[in-house]
Amino acid sequence: MCQYSAIEGEANDWHFAHLAKFALGGAGMIIVEATAVERDGRISPGDLGLWHDDQIEPLRRITDFLKAHGSIPAIQIGHAGRNASSQRPWRGNGPLTEADRSYGDVPWRTVSASLLAMAPGWPVPCELQASDIERLIQSFRDAAIRAMAAGFQIIEVHAAHGYLLHQFLSPLSNQRRDRFGGSLENRMRLPLLVTHAVREVWPRELPVFVRISAVDGLDGGWSLEDSLVFSDALKAQGIDLIDCSSGGLGGAATLQRVPRALGFQVFFAEQVRKGSSIATMAVGLIIDALQANAIIVDGRADLIAIGARRSKIPSGHCMRGNGSGCRPQASRHGRNSMAGGSNGGRACWMPYWSMRTRARNQKQAFLSGAANVPTGKRRGHRHVANRGTGDAMRFARSVGSRFRQAACPQTQP
């Protein structure tokens, strides 16, 4: 979740303080915001980046702290495509214009799969040519190498929410007539080349995730059936987990046509998990520990990611195991949110293999998402007494050996 606070893509004290509090609060894994693989791939001028080596050390300062306090550092890399060159939210959240030069945010030309603007009032992007595509794949590869140098142990490729890789996947934004457009196989080609490049340079013992919009939620758009085909192809490449969101192609992240009830996107993680037999991560209005645990116990997903909910917890603590969540404390500004109203980072609960069995001898597990949660029983399973790498290691057996060394290099059996 973007902070819009970087200078030329470099992390600073704001990012350190913002992310460090989640480690102190007990998060099992912390995913750094969408980080651009190219300068022109930033959503806004304030986005983090990994397009040159000078951006490595400020991020390594953060990953060293996260690991020292028991959390697994992860990072999401992507390219905004036609959604790039956007204003920071407090400036309007629209496309950058010449008027934005007055405070230093200079607009730039965007790119996409086709000559289609994101929405009315947005500029028409340039269509990526073959040479541009080769360079883009190399940019993702180089960014992954830099992420490794910065100390990250998990990397996630962003192919959701209307950003560039999603723009190639969806028939609504991809009207090309070359080998990167038309059929589903052709539209998947660039995202699969990108994920292959990342998997190729990322150590085999460490996990690679891919975030998808499981459906566009628009007539004639990307469907759940398409996501299952894509997930099968990703699994064949050695991708470890699919992070299942939805929507975003028309500008707003997540679905625009579906009412936002509790856990409204968990269905997608469940369907991809069952249909493609690959681990998934669930998101979307998951607001307390019991709700999160139930998703894992019922076998609907393998990980739970929390984003916006964290912004309502000033201390960055994980949700409590009693189902109530952490009560937001009023800030000095009198609001139940972080000072400044910034979005929170995404932090994951890591489930583990239970020693008990459910019906039909299925092993299930979950982590309650809070440090030092009192042990209790629910549906015949244990709450995990504390978050940490031991629980992640047990989950490794369901995802593969790659996860083991990433999540818990110092774990006791």
Which amino acids are annotated catalytic? Answer: 163
> Around Cβ 374, how many Cβ atoms within 10 Å?
11
Cα separations in angstroms, 401 against 153, 240, 292, 413: 13, 10, 25, 14
- Taking the CA atoms of the chain, what radius of gyration do you get in angstroms? 20
CA dihedral 246, 46, 37, 174 (to 10 degrees): 40
Cα separations in angstroms, 104 against 9, 44, 131, 172, 379: 15, 12, 31, 34, 56
Which tokens is 31 given? 């995913």
Q: Which amino acid is at 403?
A: F
Strands (E), 165-299: 208-213, 241-245, 279-282
Strands (E), 79-142: 111-112, 126-127
Give the ranges where 202-237 is alpha helix by DSSP (H): 224-237
Separation CA 281–CA 287 (nearest Å): 15
